[in-house]
Every structure is written in structure tokens, then in C-alpha cells.
Amino acid sequence: MTRTRIVVVGGAAVATALLVAGLAGARTSGSARTHVNTAVTGSISFDGIWTSSSGQKQFQDVINAFNKTYPNVKVNYKPVGNNLPTVLETAVAGGHPPDMADIAQPGTVAQLAKQGKLKPITYAKSTIASNFAPAWQALGTYSGKLYALVFKAANKSVVWYNVPAFKTAGVNPPKTFSQLLADAKTIKSSGTPAYSIGGADGWTLTDMFENIYLRTFGAAKYNQLSQHKIKWTDPSVKTALTTMAKIIGDTSNIAGGTSGALQYGFNDSVTNAFASPPKGAMVFEADFVGGVITSSTKAKPNTGFNTFTWPSITPGADAGAVEIGGDLFVTFRDTPAIEAFVKYLASPQAAEVWAKQGGFGTGNKNVPASVYPDAITKATEAPIGSAKQVVFDMSDEQPPSFGATAGQGEWGLFQDFLKSPTNVAGIQSQLEKAAAAAYKKGK
């Protein structure tokens, strides 16, 4: 998907120790007891997606915290925004990539590693292993070598709901999919459509499918489909699409009906659900929905909006799995300054700088849930670090022409499916044809 992206003291102590162990020139400030390393010097150019309106300040705060330990390392952050993939591709092709960059697609990381463009970050392997579960390490690994750190993650296994609409209907957040469907009927009977869908942005539909597939067949099979090791004509895809049709085929229970869902984008789906009165009661989308609610509506947390985890479909299939989107940090050069920065970014201290401000999730298991600024943020972000299984956004793992291009591939075909939710076999065939072509081209 191409869009702005948008717990133990002992473990933290170990991570801090790793930052300074074996490095000469370290000194300690007697008053603040802050370890300061003046021996490591140099500059780092860093191209990232975050701009002044979407996280640049928070990432600069992380850089500033790093500089308290390494004052002689200058990190020059360049806010590229959503043009980052194109800018980075051009820079790499021209032989002048930045020292470090933020990449949203594991597939792109693998492609660059295969081409020999990236530098392995094996020097940070022990730091990462002490703070991240193996599933997180695997997301940044290609051909047995570690190339990327998943610094920031978005929990995509979330459903946001209008609290007054649920209260009027007399329902509680469902734990199973069958209960969700039953509650949806009750909500509709109370006077509000249950679902608010932003189908004009095709990625909202792929996100819905991905959560359904994950909760039906589990992480292992999900990863097989992500990597095209099984075809889109597989019976499992038919089952997941048929399940999805129970939502998108319930036309009269969608804000604006099918035509409205095709016209409304992601932001519209959020503002529709949390307007007063609401046009819908639920939004199936990631943790970043909260930012749209607070900036574009008058709904208040707990009394106006809240969240629940994507309901279980096949008991035990998902085993506590969470789907994420995220920011993978990669390096194109290897210097002592870059190594120090990567190790710091893998520490809980780096994550806490941003996490305490909100709008930040991390797979770092040593970041305590107490660092999150409010109950809803804690409920959406803390599960990322404690999840037993983690899978990456399926469309981000696939060639962009299939998984991340407006009007074609998955995005376009799932919009077609929204129009004709009974055409399961037809959509399967078209998805497989598009996937096969994209994988053959390799982009």
C-alpha cells in the first residue's frame, strides 16, 4: 500500500549497554549520568516519508535523543513524503542513494538486497534479537542476512466503532466474526448502517481481505499467498472472498450503499462513521484512523469512539497474529556513525521517544505499554509488540504493479469485487492473472 504512514528494565539496560560497549572515547556526565561518546563522528543522510504534518518532528526528537549519546554524529533527515519510492528508485539507479532510507515494502528491501545495493546490518543483530521477536527479524531478512530494521509499525488488525451507535443498538464489541455479523443486523435495525467503507481507496478493501484471510487460515498460509507460493485461484482465497462478501454484499448496511462505498475514500469513511449523527458505525482499518477522527470530527475517545481487535473467524487459526504495515530502515553505506545510529534505533529508548507522543507502534518487546499516552493508543499499539505472530501487509509484500497501484492489480480488482461480490470465481481468476504477470516482470 502506498499512503502516508500516513517491557522489562533489564532488557532496556542491556540495549543501552550495547550502545556504548567496546567503543572508545566514552565518558559519563556526573550530574545526569548520561553516557556520551565523542569518538564516533560523521554525518548520515536519511530519506524518509515523514513530513512536517506527518511525523517529521517526532522522528527529529528521536534523532535529538540519539545525539545526547553521540553528539559528533550529524543525521540529516530529508522529508520526502509519499514520493519517496520514486525519489529513492531514481537515486539508487543514478548511483547516489542516501546513507539510510525508510522503505514501506519488504519486497522492495528484498529486491535492493538481491541487487547488492544494500548493506547488511549484521552488526546490530544481537541488539535487534534482544528487543524483537524472531518474526520481526524475519521481516528484515533476505537470503539469510539481516538488511532492515522495522522501526515503526501500524496495527492493521483493528476495528474502530462509534460508541453511541453501539449503545443505541445495545451491542458490545464482538469477539467472533459470526457475532459481528449478528451485531451488524442489530445496529442496522437501530437506525444506522453498520459499515463505513472507503472503497475509493482500493487498499482499504485489500486490508479487509487480508485480515479475513489471516483469521481464517493463519499466518503460515497468509505468508504463502503473500509470496505467491499459492495461487489466487486456491480454494482458501475462495473461502476468504466469500466471507468478505458477507460484509460488502450487505449493501443496505453500508454507509451510502455500494455506490457510496465506491465513492468514499479512506478519510471519508472515517468522518462518516464519527459524524453526528453517524452515517455508519464501524470502520475496518488500522491504528492511524484515530488521527483522522481527532483532527476531522468532534468525537471524543471512549465516549465517541473506541476500538476492538479484528474478530476471530476460525478458532485458533490466527493464534494472536497481528497484521502490520511499517517502516523498514535500510542502509546503503556502512560507517561507525551509521552503525551507532542503527543500534540506537533498535533500542527501546529510541521507540519510547516517539511512542509517548502517540501515533507510533513498535515491535520492540521491551517498550512498556505504560509509555503510551492514553488507553485507546495502548489498546491499539501495545499488541504489536506482544503479538505471538506478525504478518506484514500482504499488498506491500507483492510487486507494486499488483499490490500498490491505484486502479489496477489488487486495488482495482477488489473495487470490482465491491461492485459484484457474488463474482468470486471471476475475481479469483483476474487476481491470479494480474499477480502472475506482475511477478513475471518482477515489479
pLDDT at 33: 53
Q: Provide the 8-state DSSP code for 347.
A: S
Does position 247 have pLDDT exceeding 90, yes or no? Answer: yes
Q: Which CATH architecture has domain 9-154+322-392?
A: 3-Layer(aba) Sandwich (3.40)
pLDDT at 433: 98
Residues 6+ apart with CB under 8 A from 347: 12, 15, 16, 18, 19, 127, 131, 364
pLDDT one-digit tens code per residue, 416-436? 999 999 999 999 999 999 999
Phi, psi of 256 (to 5 degrees): 80, 5
Dihedral of the CA atoms 80, 86, 90, 93 (nearest 10)?
130
pTM: 0.85
9-154+322-392 and 158-316+394-441 have identical folds:
yes
With a cut of 80, say whether residue 8 has pLDDT above it: no
Residue 314 near residue 216, CB atoms below 8 Å: yes
The answer regarding whether domain 158-316+394-441 maps to CATH 3.30.2350.10 reads: no
Residues sharing a CB contact under 8 Å with residue 216, sequence separation 6 or more, in sequence order: 236, 239, 240, 243, 313, 314, 317
- Picking from 308, 310, 307, 304, the residue whose alpha carbon sits closest to that of residue 165 is 304
Alpha helices in 264-320 (DSSP H): 266-273, 289-296
- Separation CA 306–CA 287 (nearest Å): 11
Asked whether residue 21 carries a pLDDT value surpassing 50, the answer given is no
Q: What is the mean pLDDT of residues 329-343?
A: 98
Per-residue pLDDT, averaged over 233-248, amounts to 99
Q: For residue 248, what are the contacts with CB-CB under 8 A and spacing of at least 6?
A: 197, 205, 208, 254, 258, 261, 417, 418, 421
Judge contact between 192 and 272, C-beta under 8 A.
no
Domain limits of the chain? 9-154+322-392, 158-316+394-441
